[in-house]
Amino acid sequence: MSTAKSAQSGNGNGQQTPASKNGSADSAAEGQAAQVAGEAGGRRATAQSMAAKQRDISVSEFFAKNRHLLGFDNPRKALLTTVKEAVDNSLDACEEAGLVPEIWVHIEQTRPNRFKVGVQDNGPGIMKKQIPLIFGKLLYGSKFHRLRMSRGQQGIGISAAGMYGMLTTGKPVKIISKVSPRRPAHYYEIQIDTKKNVPEILNGRGDGVDIPPGEEGRKYIAEHEIEWVAEIIAPDGASSEVKSGTRVTIELEARFQRGRGSVDEYLEQTAIANPHVTLHYLDPEGNERTFHRSTTTLPPEPKEIKPHPYGIELGQLVTMLKDAKGETLTQFLTTSFSRVSPSVARNICETAKLSSRAAARRIGREEADKLFHAIQETRILAPATDCITPIGEELLLKGLHHVVPGEFYCAATRPPAVYRGNPFLIEVALAYGGASSAQRVSLDVLKQLLHESDARTLRQFLLNTFDGVGSDGAERIMKEAQIGTRQSPAKLKPSEVQRLLTAMRNVNLSEGQSMQVLRYANRVPLQFKQRDCAITESVINTNWRPYGLSQSRGSLPSGPVSVMVHIASVWVPFTSESKEAIASYPEIQKELRLGLQTVGRKLGMYLRRRNKVKQEGERRNIFLRYLGEVAGAVSQLNGASREELYQQLLEVAKRKTAQADVKLDDRGRPIGEEDEEDFGGNVLIVPPADPGPLPNAAGPQRPAGERTATTQSTQRQLF
């Protein structure tokens, strides 16, 4: 494996990978340079002396120096990137093999600022020969050269994580992989030789270790303290053997932190976008948390496609022409590209004024340029879009409902579109409202939580126990309850508990909250560079006011709303290698806008309707309140029977309010019958009466059983 080759493949991508800058000029030029240097005298260096220092740069050396390009800029992000790369690879492998993914993520602190990350899957496993290359060589993988929707694209991620671990801790990457329960598992400890970008195997005298299957192997694993999860435990308690799979363990310098951009957040968001995945997560503090799958159906297998002629660049075209074997130009065009039929190929050749029978390999620079322009001028069908597999509206709803509490959910999947010849697809899901768990807790549960809590102050208790209570919210709750902030939660008097409960119910926690935007690319959550991302930009540029949210110019709308946006594509245009933000292509922006508007309209309908229901109630209330007074006054004035009059007025009131409901909406506009129709499917409304999951003192864990996402039936109940 030469470095040159891998560097070249980097070039093909058009990315800024370090091509070897071998400025080895020919000797004549060098001689001249020497002369000039001699004349000038006192030159600092000569071309010869400089040439001595000019040499290849290995891709691994380059990334070792520029680790920020891959998302290792700080210890906190390094931890996340490591987990992320490993999990992404695992999911890709499982899905490609058609296995329902079961992923274990274990993070363990070994020293201050040093963590051991272990990620295991139940995937197909890796063949023995490939293991060192996949984990110990940068830019090695199956995903780069094909156009197929997958999480990974480059083949840098996991080996870069291993390299980072090695650089910061000196510990090798440990891999154990098993292909079948009857075949031995392979165990490797690998380091990257950064100078050569080749793996170095440390154990088994440079050959790795084979662990035999069965009891013997189990003993070996236990003896050598190799980490391996051997059993899958289903939510119902049944356990089964892990038949195949891979586990990678990397020790690295890192920092564990909760909150934004944390591993917790990443896994939570991954669970939303991948409802077919079960994630077992053990954090450094020893908390175990499991995200159970809500479906066992795998997403359909994405198809691999050939590049579309519109997406190609001149340089790329030239390279492809050179690589062509003895084909005619027509043959070359039809076989290398998608959507090019012989007649289209003929059209292209005619426009380029080239013979369609010319040998593709012999096409020169200038002719290639003509060919390139001819391609742009010829009408070619947009690429086939069946190569993209969306999450699907139903699963989006399930996933979002699973993780984000709310009362209204809706989702929209846009039809596929094309940017620069690459098909892509936008999906948007939205969750609205949802009282924070603090508002749904009952007195008994609150008492129990207070009793169990180990928080020192009430403030801490509120922050740690309940979802959606920020420090501001906690402050307001305690002010309303008139309880001191430093009060110990276990020592509250019953009257104070009662006050606390009332305050928790009454304080509006959603006030001043701004929309949460969850971004995904090929089912991978994006957690950084929110501001630079085309998705955030589109959310901000969408006018949410007509949909019932308040929004100030140039910022995210406010309200208890979460929006999830997924872009699926065979080639996701990231703004950088660390895959943190989507580039703003106009085609992508347009699709984003349309998707956001679709869910926005549904949200607007829901909010208007909810307001109307509320208003109707209020209106009836107001009338009822005054009817008694009116009847009393009138009967006093003319001696009419108060009761009879009251009943009569009540009848009129009922009729009158019902009438008004039909005729007018909250803006006083008449509502047509068609507006009374449903939301057009893919809407989930959780009736507010639903007590919802009770908060768990350990964390925002949601029981797996309550995911009953029916779209239409609940909605009918409400309206």
Partner 1 sequence: MAKKKARRQPAAAPEAAPDAAQLTAQDHKTLDALREMADGVVDAAGRSRPPHLDIPSRSLSNVRYNKAKRFIEMGRGTNRRELFNLSQAKSYMQTMLVGSGCKQLIQQGKTTSIRGLYYLLKHTIEGTREETFDDQADCDPIIEDVEVTLNALREELHVYASNRGSMVGNVVVNDSGDEIDCSRMGSGGYTIPSIVEPEVIRFVKVEADFVLHVEKDTVWRRFNEDKFWRKHNCILTHGQGQPPRGVRRMLHRLHHEHHLPVYCLLDNDPWGYYIYSVIKQGSINLAYESRRMAIPGARYLGLRSKDFERCSLSPSVTIKLNDNDIKRIKQIRNYPWFENKPAWKKELELMLRNGFKLEVEALISKDISYVTEQYVPARLQDEDFLD
Burial class (CB in 10 A: 0-12, 13-18, 19+), 160: buried
Near partner 1 by CB under 8 A: residue from 39, 638, 691, 705: 638
Tell which positions 324-343 bind partner 1, by CB under 8 A. Answer: none
CA distance 684 to 180: 41
Q: Give 52 or 633: the residue with its C-beta nearer to partner 1.
A: 633
Residue 262 CB, nearest approach to partner 1 (Å)? 47
Sign of CA dihedral 36, 41, 44, 50: positive
Residues 6 or more apart in contact with residue 205 via CB below 8 angstroms: none
Number of chain residues interacting with partner 1 (CB under 8 A): 25
The reply on whether position 625 binds partner 1 by CB under 8 A is yes
Out of 632, 680, 681, 687, the only residue in the binding site for partner 1 (CB under 8 A) is: 632
Please check whether residue 431 is in contact with residue 562, taking contact to mean a CB–CB distance below 8 angstroms: yes
Minimum separation from the CB atom of position 621 to partner 1 (A)? 9
Q: What residues between 657 and 686 interact with partner 1 by CB under 8 A?
A: 657
Site for partner 1 in 414-453 (CB under 8 A): none
Helix 342-352 vs helix 365-377: angle between axes, to the nearest 10 degrees? Answer: 120
* Sites for partner 1 among residues 341-400 (CB under 8 A): none
DSSP label at 303?
A: P
Determine whether 450 is exposed, middle or buried from the number of CB atoms within 10 Å of its CB (0-12, 13-18, 19+). buried
**Residue 665 CB, nearest approach to partner 1 (Å):** 14
Residue 28 interacts with partner 1 (CB under 8 A): yes or no: no
630 forms part of the interface with partner 1 (CB under 8 A):
yes
**Whole-number Å distance between alpha carbons of 214 and 241:** 11
Nearer to partner 1, 34 or 624 (CB): 624
Query: Does the footprint of partner 1 cover residue 257 (CB under 8 A)?
Result: no
Q: Say if residues 218 and 197 touch (Cβ distance below 8 Å).
A: no
Least Cα distance to 21 among 5, 7, 37 occurs for 7
Interacting span for partner 1 (CB under 8 A) from 48-56, 527-535, 557-565, 623-631: 623-631
Residue closest to 93 by CA, chosen among 118, 119, 124, 120: 124
* Residue closer to partner 1, measured from CB, 50 or 640: 640
CA 134 to CA 247: how far, in whole Å?
13
CB of 633 to partner 1, least distance (A): 4
Among residues 37 and 650, whose Cβ is nearest to partner 1?
A: 650
Q: How many Å apart are CA 601 and CA 381, to the nearest integer? A: 32
Q: Which of 342, 628, 680, 703 binds partner 1 (CB under 8 A)?
A: 628
Give the integer Cα–Cα distance in Å for 162 and 172: 7
Site for partner 1 contains 613 (CB under 8 A): no
Rounded to the nearest whole angstrom, what is the least distance from the CB of residue 439 to partner 1 in the complex?
23
Task: Pick the closer one to partner 1 by CB: 362 or 654.
Answer: 654
- Tell me whether residue 446 or residue 631 sits nearer to partner 1 (CB atom): 631
* Cα separation, 474 vs 460, whole angstroms: 9
Q: And the tokens for 146?
A: 């094909």
Of 113 and 615, the one with the shorter C-beta distance to partner 1 is 615
Which of 134, 125, 126, 219 minimizes the C-alpha distance to 173?
A: 134
For the bound state, the minimum distance from the C-beta of residue 719 to partner 1, rounded and expressed in Å, comes to: 22
Measured in Å, how far apart are the chain's first and last C-alpha atoms? 66
Sign of torsion over alpha carbons 62, 63, 69, 73: negative
| Cα three-residue angle 692-695-696, rounded to 5 degrees | 135
How would you classify the pairing of strands 239-241 and 231-233? antiparallel
Strands 245-253 and 173-178: antiparallel
Check if the beta carbon of residue 124 is closer than 8 Å to that of residue 95: no
Q: Could you say whether residue 202 binds partner 1 (CB under 8 A)? A: no
Which is closer to partner 1, CB of 526 or CB of 649? Answer: 649
Name the minimum Å distance from CB 689 to partner 1: 24
| Closest approach of partner 1 to the CB of residue 667, in Å | 14
Q: What is the DSSP string of 662-688?
A: HHB-TTSPBPPGGGGS---S-EEE--T
By CB under 8 A, residue 619 contacts partner 1? yes
Which tokens sit at 633? 């006054």
The residue (of 127 and 622) whose beta carbon lies closer to partner 1 is 622
Q: 323: helix, coil or strand?
A: helix
Q: Which is nearer to partner 1, 497 or 645 (CB)?
A: 645
In angstroms, what is the minimal distance from the CB of 654 to partner 1? 10
- Binding partner 1 by CB under 8 A: which of 49, 626, 663, 708? 626
Q: Minimum distance from CB of 631 to partner 1 (Å)?
A: 8
Least CB distance to partner 1 at residue 646 (A): 9
Residue type at position 88: D
Among 144, 220, 585, 623, binds partner 1 (CB under 8 A): 623
x/- track of binding to partner 1 for residues 639-658 (CB under 8 A): -x----x--xx-xxx-xxx-
Is residue 708 within 8 Å of residue 298, measured between CB atoms?
no
Computed from CA positions of residues 133, 135, 137, 138, in that sequence, does the dihedral angle turn out positive or negative?
A: positive
Please identify, using beta-carbon distances, which residue of 222 and 640 lies nearer to partner 1. 640
Question: Which residue lies nearer to partner 1 by CB, 153 or 657?
Answer: 657
Q: Which is nearer to partner 1, 415 or 628 (CB)?
A: 628
Q: Rounded to whole angstroms, how far apart are CA atoms 575 and 537?
A: 14
Nearer to partner 1, 601 or 620 (CB): 620
Alpha helical stretches, state H, 137-286: 157-169, 215-223, 263-273
| Between 68 and 656, CB nearer to partner 1 | 656
Residue 670 beta carbon to partner 1: minimum distance, rounded to whole angstroms: 17
Least CB distance to partner 1 at residue 277 (A): 51
C-beta closer to partner 1: residue 454 or 643: 643
Nearest approach, Cβ of residue 668 and partner 1 (Å): 11
For residue 437, which of 465, 457, 410 has the smallest C-alpha distance?
465
Minimum CB distance to partner 1, residue 669 (Å): 16
To partner 1, the closest distance from the beta carbon of 653 in angstroms equals 6
Environment class of 635 (CB within 10 Å of its CB; exposed 0-12, middle 13-18, buried 19+): middle
Residues near partner 1, by CB under 8 A: 619, 622-623, 625-630, 632-634, 636-638, 640, 645, 648-649, 651-653, 655-657
